[in-house]
Amino acid sequence: MFPEDSWPVPFFLDPSNLSIDAVVTFCVSILVAITINAEAQAFMSNFLGDRRTDARDRLHFNAFLHLDILGTICYFVGGFGWARNFDIDRSKFEYPRLYMVLSRVAGPLANILMASIVSSAVWIFGIVGYNPRVFLMVVGVNLTTAIYNLIPIPPLAMGYLVLELMPQMDARLRTLALQAGPFVVLALAFLERISHHSIFSPYFDHIIRAIYSYLAAN
């Protein structure tokens, strides 16, 4: 069982009640979640055929190179976000549409795997009497990152899936969706935060808490 004083899930920074440990822990958790998400996408695309030499946006495990400006802001506004997008050459895939989806979905799946691994570490720390609140934040942020990728707007994974399901979409419209998507997601997250009108949370937060509770019970 996770300790009762663990962080709320999903976690949101409260400007009226900020604490240094919460800010630092949240920032570290963001870096972990972004790195795992991006590196998983890079590994999968490489594994499926899009192999490149000296690709500076892939497989370097430098969290700061994976930061996306809008995606990082979204973490502080809405508790979730995304890594910097990198180009995937679909022409190198044997099955372009399927492999594109698998490459993008690898990110959130890796976040869930990371949450599971860290929750096991939390259990071990609990046995030895160490308060694992820092690791609990990593669990929560990774789960939030993974589940909010279900939003069907790029640059989130489900958004790419929607685009792949519409191969006949006009190229200009597709480009517009890719370019405007991050601004739309950030705007909706900001609107939900300042208006207290639920947009995403009714659909995703209970899923996040359910998985978090499951990890706590095992």
- Does the residue 73 lie in any domain? yes
Is 26 domain-assigned?
Answer: yes
Question: Is 125 domain-assigned?
Answer: yes
The reply to whether 3 falls in a domain is: no
Q: Please give the mean pLDDT across all residues of the chain.
A: 90
* 100 is a domain residue: yes
Is residue 1 domain-resident? no
Identify the band that residue 56 occupies on the pLDDT scale cut at 50, 70 and 90. Answer: low
Residue 85 confidence (pLDDT) above 80: yes
What are the contacts of 103-106 at 24+ separation with CB within 8 A?
Answer: 103/41, 103/44, 103/45, 103/48, 103/50, 104/41, 104/157, 104/160, 104/161, 105/157, 105/161, 106/40, 106/41, 106/43, 106/44
Q: How confident is the model at residue 75 (pLDDT cuts 50, 70, 90)?
A: very high
Residue range of the domain that includes 42 = 15-217
pLDDT digits (tens, 9 = 90+) for 180-207: 999 999 999 999 988 878 899 999 999 9
Note whether residue 93 is domain-resident. Answer: yes
Residue 61 covered by a domain: yes
Of 15-19, 92-96, 97-101, 153-157, the poorest mean pLDDT is in 15-19
The domain total for the chain is 1
Mean pLDDT of 143-156: 96
